[in-house]
Amino acid sequence: MSIEKDINQKNFKDSYQKAYINLMFTNNWMLNQTKSWFKEHGVTHQQYNVLRILRGAHPSCMNPGSIKEVMIDKSPDLTRLIDRLIEKKYVQRETCGSNRRKVDVIITEEGLEKLKQLDPLENQMKDMFNSLTNEEAEKLSDLLDRLRGSIA
C-alpha cells in the first residue's frame, strides 16, 4: 500500500509534507503492531525500553536522569514509570553510596527474566521490515539519522 491509499489523500503540498505524514503514520502503525505484544506480557513499550536500558547497564545501576537521556520515548513522568516497574518487581531503587540524596535504579532478576521472555519479540519486530533488503534498512536508518541531525 501507499500512504496515499492508507490515509485516502491524493495530493500533498510537497514531498516533505508527504514524507512527514508517512513517517508519522508508519510510527503509529509500528507502535500499534507492538502494543498487543507488550500487553500480553504486562508491560508498555516505555517500560520495555527502560528494562532494556537497565539490562545494558547491569550489574551497575543508573540514575533516572541518565535513563531518560537514552530513552526512545522520553516519558514525561519517569518517576511514575519506575514506580510501576518496582510494583512488578522488575527494578528496585537504591540509595547512592556517595550521595544519600541521590537514588539509582537497578534491574532485578525478575526484570532480567521478563526481558528473556520478551527477547523473541524482537524477531517479530524485525519481521515488520521483511519487505526491505538489508541495504535498504541500512539506508533508511542513515536517512533517519540525517533527518534528526538537521535539527539543531
Model confidence pLDDT, tens digit, residues 66-109: 999 999 988 678 999 999 999 999 999 987 666 667 889 999 99
CA–CA dist 14, 127 (Å, integer): 31
At residue 140, does pLDDT exceed 80?
Answer: yes
Mode of pairing for the β-strands spanning 103-107 and 91-95: antiparallel
For the chain, give every domain's residue range: 11-40, 42-121
Q: 43: closest CA among 103, 106, 113, 92? A: 113
CA–CA dist 94, 85 (Å, integer): 14
| Peptide bond between residue 64 and the one before it cis (omega within 30 degrees of 0) | no
pLDDT at site 36 = 85
pLDDT at site 148 = 87
pLDDT at site 122 = 83
- Sequence-separated (6 or more) residues with CB below 8 Å from residue 59: 106
Range 22-34 average pLDDT: 90
**Domain covering 42-121 assigned CATH 3.40.50.12160 in the classification:** no
At residue 151, does pLDDT exceed 70?
Answer: no
Backbone angles phi, psi at 106, to 5 degrees: -135, 145
The better pLDDT of the pair 128, 14 is held by: 14
pLDDT at site 99 = 67
pTM: 0.83
